[in-house]
Amino acid sequence: MKHRGSPVVWHGVGPLSDEQMRSYTENGYLLLKNVLSPTLIEQLRAEVDNMKEGEHLSIIRERNSKAVRSVFDAHNLNPTISQQVVKNDLLLDIAEQILGNGVYVHQCHVNYKRPGGGEFFWHSDFTFWYWEDGMREPRAISIFIFLDPSRTETGPLCVVPGSHHYITHPEWYRSVDDHKEAVRHDFQSDARANGLVDFDTLQRLSQHRTIETIWGNPGDIFIMDGNLVHASGPNFGLDERRVLLLILNSMDNKIGVPHSGGQPRPNYISSRTFEPIR
């Protein structure tokens, strides 16, 4: 495993305190409580549920059922997401403070994790952004917006603090042809040999740092470095665990030719519309 070789924070001006910036740099994430209002969360819940009833190309289904696992391109499918989440000033201020300049939407999707919904095995998103999208460096953040409470039985997000300092993807990464299959990142995924973090690597990463579970409630947000290793278990509870994920990339880090040598992923998975949000 080699060091990531590029900064974690690019020190723009913004609302995060020095202590929050220090903690983000060291651990690779921050949990902020009560950021989005209960009214907006209620509206988002209803609208993301409607979104999964359509026949959109960007729907990803669970491996063994017709149940909707994720809907990608959510910001183009839903005006509340594009107007009230993507353009939320606080989220943009934070992104610009961490990444140092303007940002655009690289990806936006909802993970529904309904009862019986499957796991996301250990991975760093940057692995896929680098190989499949041609992203140069991990100068991007993922913002998880909790629409439901995290509970042990509904498959909460887990992270390896500090893992964002290392590049975990193997040099022998091979592109997968079926991008809709690969974004499942589940245990049986064909992509397992192609970028998910194996147990040896997980052990090395977590030698000095304990794996943390992220306990968020509706309206909380979790901001994560694009290279942080994370996972979540299956939902064996009775309630859904919906999250909206917004991935913002620096305008200085636009994606290019995939490093895998394969075809670029469809625009609904990785956007090539490089418009600064503001």
Question: From residue 63 to residue 102, what is the string marking binding to ligand AKG with x (rule CB under 6 A)?
Answer: ----------------------------------------
Q: Report how far residue 39's alpha carbon sits from residue 24's, in angstroms, rounded to the nearest whole number.
A: 29
Question: From residue 124 to residue 143, what is the string marking binding to ligand AKG with x (rule CB under 6 A)?
Answer: -x------------------
100 or 226: CB nearest ligand AKG: 226
Q: Which of 111, 189, 249, 250 binds ligand AKG (CB under 6 A)?
A: 111
| 154 near ligand AKG (CB under 6 A) | no
Q: Which of 106, 164, 179, 185 binds ligand AKG (CB under 6 A)?
A: 185
Question: From residue 195 to residue 224, what is the string marking binding to ligand AKG with x (rule CB under 6 A)?
Answer: ------------------------------
Q: How far is the CB of 215 from ligand AKG (least distance, A)?
A: 13
| 157 near ligand AKG (CB under 6 A) | yes
| 243 near ligand AKG (CB under 6 A) | yes
| 120 near ligand AKG (CB under 6 A) | yes
Q: Where along the sequence are the contacts to ligand AKG (CB under 6 A)?
A: 111, 120, 125, 157, 185, 230, 232, 243, 245
